Structure 1
């Protein structure tokens, strides 16, 4: 049974902060995302994440609940989850897809289009906001439950509340059990495993930082503060990782941190009156220590709200929370 969700936020009182400038490795010198090739969906919008299987087929999920497969230049409607598919991962163990559905929890999608629910709760608590996943070599699925208070439709309220409402979970397919790996996280979003499966890298969107969680202890260590809000992330396979950053940090949101009552009022205003993300999006390549190795930019907002990123050979694929297309660029 679903638990009633709060309407008002309970904002934390925090010191005001100032977003850092995009300098050094974050300098927008490479603006190739503004020249990305767009691949429109047949219908619907908001292909939030993107996955690529060994054959080169590309997968994404739309706001309308459809999982699409792009193969040989043509889209196919693979399945409908009845919810909102977000993170998508190819499972090499059985060639299926793991789908994080914001409404229905963790799902498995087979190549014939069959959808099976894996888990919707952990430690006796509903999974409210299943977001992004990573699959270990033994088949364990690690995934983010971004907020225990606000579902996808009200993600901005979690941002304004600015409390550690999220957790990272692990689903064991053999035992069919779900356990809590770490809790007290600030909107955990993208997750990726280190090559030896000894740790998870986690993007905490609200705290705009990259965090390492050691396994199996669950000990969390902040690796780096980020100048933009991170979303999904994906491993390249060589010990490096791509992070999708949907927008530079919003200065007014950080100036309001000492004023929880003001944020409480802002949270119930129409969306167009609330602090809004910028159109500048970024894809950043980092190593397992969080060191930034390369950044690609879209300062003109050619492909705004970039939320998914995946490398396949020399091509980088992108998904977006708002657009009607996937996009891709070629790497050097």
Structure 2
């Protein structure tokens, strides 16, 4: 009988958060281009993970037509892009960690994986896994990546204090614990592009390579980060918490938004002591994301071009989104399946 493979140790979170007093904010309504007129996400087709597997946080379609996602037990799975709903996946690789963001390296066709426990990984088409920039300094919580034509990998390190399973504590602390990093494949060096961000999450490279778009989850903002200087410009204040970003290739970007903003969370900002106590409560007693499906298409200036909704939350907690031809593929941090909806 084969012995179970050893898993990367899961880091422990600080017991106490260090919140600071912030002014209260008010979530804007879902109106205008954010109005729930297009509710197709509630009719999404689903493709389940194997029994017991959960957390296909991101999704990618590779040049061979394989739809790739991961699970919280460190496995990478794939489905044919033309598969029928309900099709079960095949195993591609095991990272021994917790894969989050998945990107394609255009220089060699390999996959770049942001692993919450192992840092930045490379997975070749045959499933071999190699560690690039490990967890620990300067990488703590690798989350999402984008790869430049020269092979430079830009990726978010969402929090230098809290592991992925304690992301709520980071949002309650509401400090700039995150940064954007750049991995240079030639030298193997990882350098800081910009630090002092509030849970930076999704990231995508502009077509001209002069800037990055970054989704800042804790402050519900879409940022532009200039290259190589790291200058930050706020493009938009969003009505929902953003997660992964995916470039379409024409100067537009899909944003996965796991939940509309929660008023209770924003009313707690002026009360650091209360937030500290809330962080000690069991997860079930803390403010939780709304069960609502939402993705949006934006341009390079952060203007919303289109939003797709799932008000009943049939496919909830959408954290990954990827366009492939006339279809949109979705991933979920907490779900047990990936999903697909048509765009036409």
Report the Cα distance in structure 1 between the residues aligned to 2:179 and 2:30, rounded to whole angstroms: 29
Which of the pair is proportionally richer in strand? Answer: 1
Do residues 69 (structure 1) and 81 (structure 2) align? no
Point out where structure 2 has 5 or more consecutive residues left out of the alignment: 1-8
Aligned ranges 1:189-268 → 2 under 5 Å: 189-268=201-280
**Shift in Å, 1:202:** 0.2
Aligned residue pair count: 330
Supply the distance in 2 between the matched residues of 1:291 and 1:166 (Cα, whole angstroms): 25
1:22 to 30, 34, 42: 30
Counterpart in the other structure of 2:196: 184
Cα RMSD after superposing both structures: 1.5
Shift of 1:252: 0.4
Q: Structure 2 length normalisation: TM-score? A: 0.93
Which residue of 313, 317, 321 maps to 2:325?
A: 313
Q: Which residue of 2 aligns with 1:52?
A: 61
Q: Distance in 2 between matches of 1:17 and 1:219?
A: 25
Whether the aligned pair in 2 keeps the contact of 1:121 and 1:178 (CA below 8 Å) is no
Q: Distance in 2 between matches of 1:136 and 1:112?
A: 23
Secondary structure in structure 1 of the residue aligned to 2:243: strand
Cα 1:2–1:324 shift into 2, 3 Å: closer
2:95 is the counterpart of 1:87: no
Equivalent position to 2:123, from 96, 102, 109 = 109
Is it true that 1:98 corresponds to 2:124 in the alignment?
A: no
Q: How far did residue 141 of structure 1 move? A: 0.2
Q: Unaligned regions of 5+ residues in structure 1, if any?
A: none
**Correspondence for 2:340:** 328
Kindly report structure 1 stretches of 4+ aligned residues shifted beyond 6 Å.
1-4
Match of 2:16 in 1: 8
CA contact (8 A) 1:11 1:160 kept: yes
Aligned-partner SS, 1:175: coil
Q: Distance in 2 between matches of 1:197 and 1:57?
A: 27
**Post-superposition offset of 1:57:** 1.1
Q: Using the TM superposition, name which of 248-257 and 69-78 deviates more.
A: 69-78
Written as runs of structure 1 = structure 2, the 5 A alignment for 1:155-166 is 155-166=167-178
* Alignment match, 2:4: none
Q: TM-score, normalised by structure 1?
A: 0.97
Q: How far 1:4 moved relative to its partner?
A: 6.9
